[in-house]
A and B are shown apart, each in its own frame.
Chain A
Amino acid sequence: MIQRLLHEGLEKSVKTNPEKIAVIAEGVSHTYQDFFDSVTRLANALIDNGLRRGDRCVVYMDNTFPCLVSIYAILLAGGAFVVVNPQTKKEKLKFILNDCSARILISDSHLYGNFSGIDGEVQSLVCVISSGNIQSIDDSAVIPFDKIMDGSKDSKPSINTIANDLAALIYTSGSTGNPKGVMQTHLSMGFALNSLIEYLRLSSDDRILLVLPLAFDYGLYQLLMSVQLGATLVLERSFTYPAQVFSRIEQTSVTVFPAVPTIFALLLSMHNRKPIIFPTVTRITNTAASLPPEYVKALKEIFPNALIYKMYGLTECKRVCYLEPEKIDTKPSSVGQAIPGTEVFILDDNGERVKAGEIGILHVRGPHIMLGYWNQLELSNEVLKDAPLPREKILCTNDWFKMDDDGDLYFIGRSDDIIKTRGEKVSPIEVENVIHGINGVLEVAVIGEPDEILGEAVKCFIVLEEGSSLSIRDIKKICIERLENFMVPKYIEMVSNLPKTHTGKISKKGLR
């Protein structure tokens, strides 16, 4: 069977080993056959309820089994999935639904507060489905997840999708204030998937832990790789209760532990209180932010049998490079070389390649690059540049890098204002827009400040209007109602004025 589409990986795995455990979701096991049956029924139901070829279907759920079923069902039905972080609040959810003209929304009852009545505010939406405790919401416009699969056919729907079609839109924060949908096709995602499987040296025997959000491509690909290989995915909702994740790792003999520096920092502080050890883990991976070299020694104690992968990437091309784990001690600050089947260049202001050791902007070439940002031609053209071959595009990362004589890459810094906190992107403008909208706020400036556990902490300076009695707590409360948790400023300072440039713009340099 020749594979062209992403979900054909699931079809292959089901044929190869239907009784193999595909997913252990918060302790509950599901075989590939169970998984595929649920996916098929939901796919048919989506088509019955209005999903047409290429339609975007938003999945607004925690890391649960229905979420996994939804992702594959949308693909099997010929649509493109859009996973939205469950921490997203109502306004931003509405923005995303409208931006991508979503046809169907699949969510969970505990998020109802954010999606109640939303079909009235999104013209393209024809159907809202919800898992969880439906009785509690009592809204006839919302169809229960379980019910929607009853009476649906269990034979595979026939679709016309080809590899050039969109598989997913992955929304990412931008410096403009609104998130942008990165367009990834079956072609680009299938390619990226195989490149990752190759350099991570994964096999069907692996048991991959997923605690990262599925809305984040780092989390999403753990699912995609696991299913592609016919391996087992160990799914947890988050790292919030570490002891639960630890016992799951032990019970299921997890072999792959993907995380971000914040999770490693939490692990290390717990290890300091009382030693932890996970001998079954043979690979740990890090991306989203730099893994401090000082962590490596303790990580080797916690994971004595694991290869450590330091990696770098961006949503616009999934991943850029990785350091061969055997080099972790000899090249402690490097993120290595381009992933298999791709290449990178570091260019100066004139678009010329820099010499070894010189700093420039990293550009990426390969089949894994996005098609562009959904409905944002201008923003797409800012990062997709003309390549050597006519009409081909290469991706400008907007990140400063240098390369040593061996060709190993070193991340120097971002060239934009994006803050990376807990491995998540925060657009200062997005946060400023929310705070600016509060009655009583005259001026606001948001910056990132180095933080041991978070990487960077979000800090904001606020100038209040005359006579305003707004407190720091009032500001935080409104932020948490409108923004994801990780975007809420950790530090808020009320000041009497903000430093300005000679043209009157706020000078963030003056604040750092």
Chain B
Amino acid sequence: MLKDKLRLFILENFLFTDDQGELNDEDSFMDQGIIDSTAILELIFFIEEEFSIKVEDEEMIPDNLDSINKAVRFIESKS
């Protein structure tokens, strides 16, 4: 459920598609050019609103956010 919501948000807002095949769970957002420095804030606001957590500034690192799997692990660790 969590993963699906996240996938949907990213597909819709950064890839402009609903084709699930366009985004793999392990794909690095930075490598694939999916998210850049202005988009990252949009993603963070979405995560904070949708999953009711607070993302601290120090937590905005690739390990926590740079792929579907990483983001899911991070969100679960904060819930």
List residues of A whose CB falls within 8 A of some B CB: 86-87, 110, 237-244, 246, 262-263, 266, 269-270, 273-274, 276, 422, 453-454, 473-474, 476-477, 480, 485-486
In the assembled complex, which residues on chain B have CB atoms less than 8 Å from the CB atom of A263? 37
Residue in A closest to B31 when the chains form the complex, CB atoms: A110
Q: List 12 A-B contacts (CB under 8 A).
A: A110-B32, A237-B30, A239-B37, A240-B36, A241-B61, A241-B62, A241-B66, A266-B37, A270-B57, A474-B16, A480-B15, A486-B36
Q: Do A454 and B38 touch (CB < 8 A)?
A: yes
Total contacts A to B, CB within 8 angstroms? 66
In the assembled complex, which residues on chain A have CB atoms less than 8 Å from the CB atom of B21? none
Q: How many Å lie between the Cα of A263 and that of B41 in the bound state?
A: 12
In the assembled complex, which residues on chain B have CB atoms less than 8 Å from the CB atom of A243? 57-61
List residues of B whose CB falls within 8 A of some A CB: 12, 15-17, 28-33, 35-41, 56-62, 65-66
Choice from A246, A266, A477 contacting B16 with Cβ under 8 Å: A477
Q: A238-B30, A262-B38 are in contact. Are A480 and B61 (CB under 8 A)?
A: no
Q: How many Å lie between the Cα of A250 and that of B59 in the bound state?
A: 16
Q: Do B41 and A269 touch (CB < 8 A)?
A: yes
Residue in A closest to B32 when the chains form the complex, CB atoms: A110
Give chain A's interface secondary structure class.
helix
The smallest C-beta distance from B37 to any residue of chain A, in angstroms, reads 4
In the assembled complex, which residues on chain A have CB atoms less than 8 Å from the CB atom of B56? 274
The smallest C-beta distance from B67 to any residue of chain A, in angstroms, reads 12
Residue in B closest to A237 when the chains form the complex, CB atoms: B30
Choice from A110, A241, A270 contacting B65 with Cβ under 8 Å: A241
In the assembled complex, which residues on chain B have CB atoms less than 8 Å from the CB atom of A453? 38
Q: How many Å lie between the Cα of A352 and that of B31 in the bound state?
A: 51
In the assembled complex, which residues on chain A have CB atoms less than 8 Å from the CB atom of B12? 473
Q: A238-B30, A242-B60, A274-B57 are in contact. Are A476 and B16 (CB under 8 A)?
A: yes
Q: Do B17 and A477 touch (CB < 8 A)?
A: yes
Residue in A closest to B19 when the chains form the complex, CB atoms: A477
In the assembled complex, which residues on chain B have CB atoms less than 8 Å from the CB atom of A473? 12, 16-17
The smallest C-beta distance from B76 to any residue of chain A, in angstroms, reads 20
- With most chain A CB atoms within 10 A of its CB, the pick from B28, B56, B62 is B62
Q: Do A485 and B33 touch (CB < 8 A)?
A: yes
Residue in B closest to A86 when the chains form the complex, CB atoms: B33
Q: Do B35 and A240 touch (CB < 8 A)?
A: yes
Residue in A closest to B28 when the chains form the complex, CB atoms: A110
Q: Do A87 and B57 touch (CB < 8 A)?
A: no
Residue in B closest to A266 when the chains form the complex, CB atoms: B37
